[in-house]
């Protein structure tokens, strides 16, 4: 199970009610994690227990008695006596609306996509009960952002320069999980988000390919990606490596030869 946010180390326990059930969790725990620990799955895309909560996808909305609005459960910590609802009709409608918007900017090629059956976007569309999308994907007629006054038709081009993984910007939902994994897990700061609104995409440096960037091919971003945007290349596709390196880290191609004591 991915509990959505990291475990709190506090020894102080907080009691609250979620969907009519009382639970006690360590202070600093997010509502999402508290709900997950009692077996209630809250839909999520940008949250993962590998990384600190970020609150960008707005899928994990909940209602809290006495509070206006619908805060994100991944970024809202539990408070004593809190009464939370995670499954009201209003929340279901809101989540469905959010998912519709994601799908409207995503290629509908699930059947031939390499992540079919292992894609969190696909899972969440099912979890919120999305069956129809009112705003169809219009990938072929994308308005390409301009670069030096000229439409950049390579904007959604796949980057296959890295020997270990591919990057397909057309499948990016801008959840920032890869950028955060690069910073928090690897400490490399190779990735960022470029552009705004519909033009926002993950970028490895300024107009650079992944291979030409600061990326060290550690694979933390590939592991964190919830869709097929960052996808591991299979040995069957690229052939066996010409040389190998000694490393204790899964994925890593850096070969720092770190030895555990």
- 194 forms beta bridges with 201
Stretch that binds ligand FES, among 43-51, 217-225, 238-246, 251-259 (CB under 6 A): 43-51
Q: How far is the CB of 60 from ligand FES (least distance, A)?
A: 3
d(CA 172, CA 107): 10
d(CA 109, CA 13): 46
Q: Which parts of 32-131 are beta strand (E)? A: 63-64, 83-85
Stretch that binds ligand FES, among 40-48, 125-133, 159-167, 228-236 (CB under 6 A): 40-48
Q: Which of 23, 59, 78, 172 binds ligand FES (CB under 6 A)?
A: 59
47 binds ligand FES (CB under 6 A): yes
d(CA 246, CA 238): 20
125 binds ligand FES (CB under 6 A): no
Stretch that binds ligand FES, among 58-66, 179-187, 190-198, 214-222 (CB under 6 A): 58-66
Query: Could you tell me which of 153, 132, 126 has the C-alpha nearest to residue 142?
Result: 153
Q: How far is the CB of 2 from ligand FES (least distance, A)?
A: 11
Q: Which of 14, 16, 74, 98 binds ligand FES (CB under 6 A)?
A: 74
Burial of 239: CB neighbours in 10 Å, binned 0-12, 13-18, 19+: exposed
The 10 Å CB-count burial string (b at 16+, else e) for 141-174 is ebeeeeeeeeeeeebbeebbbbebbbbbbbbbbb
CB atoms within 10 A of CB 55: 16
Burial of 106: CB neighbours in 10 Å, binned 0-12, 13-18, 19+: buried
Q: How far is the CB of 23 from ligand FES (least distance, A)?
A: 19
Q: Which of 25, 60, 62, 182 binds ligand FES (CB under 6 A)?
A: 60
Q: How far is the CB of 35 from ligand FES (least distance, A)?
A: 12
44 binds ligand FES (CB under 6 A): yes
Q: Which of 28, 55, 107, 195 binds ligand FES (CB under 6 A)?
A: 55
Q: Which of 14, 46, 98, 190 binds ligand FES (CB under 6 A)?
A: 46
Binding site for ligand FES (CB under 6 A): 44-47, 55-60, 72, 74
């Amino acid at each position: 199970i991915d509990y959505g946010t990291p475990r709190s180390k506090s020894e102080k326990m907080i009691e609250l009610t979620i969907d009519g059930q009382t639970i006690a969790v360590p202070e600093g725990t997010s509502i999402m994690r508290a709900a997950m620990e009692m077996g209630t799955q809250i839909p999520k895309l940008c949250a993962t227990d590998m990384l600190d909560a970020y609150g960008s996808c707005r899928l994990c909305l909940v209602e809290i008695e006495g509070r206006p609005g619908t805060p994100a459960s991944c970024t809202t910590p539990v408070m004593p006596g809190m009464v939370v609802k995670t499954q009201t009709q209003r929340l279901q409608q809101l989540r469905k609306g959010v998912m519709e918007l994601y799908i409207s900017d995503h290629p509908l090629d699930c059947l031939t996509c390499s992540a079919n059956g292992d894609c969190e976007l696909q899972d969440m569309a099912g979890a919120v009960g999305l069956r129809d999308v009112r705003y169809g994907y219009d990938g072929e007629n994308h308005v390409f952002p301009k670069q030096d006054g000229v439409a950049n038709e390579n904007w959604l081009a796949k980057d296959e320069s890295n020997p270990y993984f591919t990057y397909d910007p057309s499948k990016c939902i801008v959840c920032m999980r890869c950028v955060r994994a690069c910073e928090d897990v690897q400490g490399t700061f190779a990735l960022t988000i470029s552009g705004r609104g519909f033009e926002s995409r993950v970028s490895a440096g300024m107009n650079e390919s992944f291979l030409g960037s600061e990326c060290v091919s550690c694979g933390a971003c590939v592991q964190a990606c919830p869709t097929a945007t960052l996808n591991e290349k299979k040995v069957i596709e690229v052939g066996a490596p010409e040389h190998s390196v000694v490393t204790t880290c899964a994925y890593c191609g850096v070969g720092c030869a770190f030895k555990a004591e």
